Amino acid sequence: MRDEHDEIVLQLADPPHCARCGEPGPVSARFSHSWKNASGEEVPGIREAILCPVCDRDEPAADGLLAFFTVHETLEASQLETFHSLAAAWVAVARARHVNQQQLADEYERSRNGEL
Ligand SMILES: [Zn+2]
């Protein structure tokens, strides 16, 4: 799955469990995420988000995608378009949520240690 800017890879088969509560989710997504380091250079990175039926409940985009999985146990070709638009909405929210101060602080620390 690709939008005009970057690539989003969805994993439907045996996705990782939720990092927050350990519940298995129906899907995970990996997407590019770049940030600027202390010298202002773009540093490309990859993030992973897991759709969690527990933690992501009440978030409208996640609810929409979770509802899709509740109704459709398998992904049929005729449903791909619906699935893609729901997944894109969820990834957009997940992506925004992943940028938080703690994470930026961690990345700064790791870049100082030469890990990035
Ligand atoms: Zn969870």
**53 is a domain residue:** yes
Domain membership of residue 55 as a residue range: 8-112
pLDDT at 115 exceeding the cut of 50: yes
Q: How many domains does the chain have?
A: 1
How far apart are the CA of 22 and the centre of ligand 1, in A? 6
Cα(67) to centroid(ligand 1), Å: 16
State the amino acid at position 32 in one-letter form.
Answer: S
d(CA 47, ligand 1 centre) in Å: 16
pLDDT tens digits, 72-92: 877 888 999 999 999 999 999
- Look-up: residue for tokens 């992943």? 98
What's the mean per-residue pLDDT of the chain? 84
In the chain, alpha helices (H): 60-71, 80-98, 101-112
Q: What is the pLDDT of residue 72?
A: 86
* Cα of 113 from ligand 1 centre, angstroms: 30
Q: What is the pLDDT of residue 98?
A: 57
Residue 33's pLDDT band (boundaries 50, 70, 90)?
A: confident
Q: Does residue 56 lie in a domain region?
A: yes
* Angstrom distance (rounded) from CA 49 to CA 20: 11
What is the crossing angle of helices 80-98 and 60-71, to 10°? 150
pLDDT value of residue 3: 44
Q: Is residue 1 part of a domain?
A: no
More confident residue, 17 or 34: 17
| Cβ partners under 8 Å of residue 26, min gap 6 | 12, 15, 51, 53, 65, 66, 69
Percent of the chain with pLDDT over 90: 39
Contacting residues for 19 by C-beta, under 8 A, at least 6 apart = 50
pLDDT of residue 11: 92
Q: In sequence order, what are the beta bridge partners of 80?
A: none
Residue 56 CA to ligand 1 center (angstroms) comes to 7
| Selected residue with higher pLDDT from 104 and 32 | 32
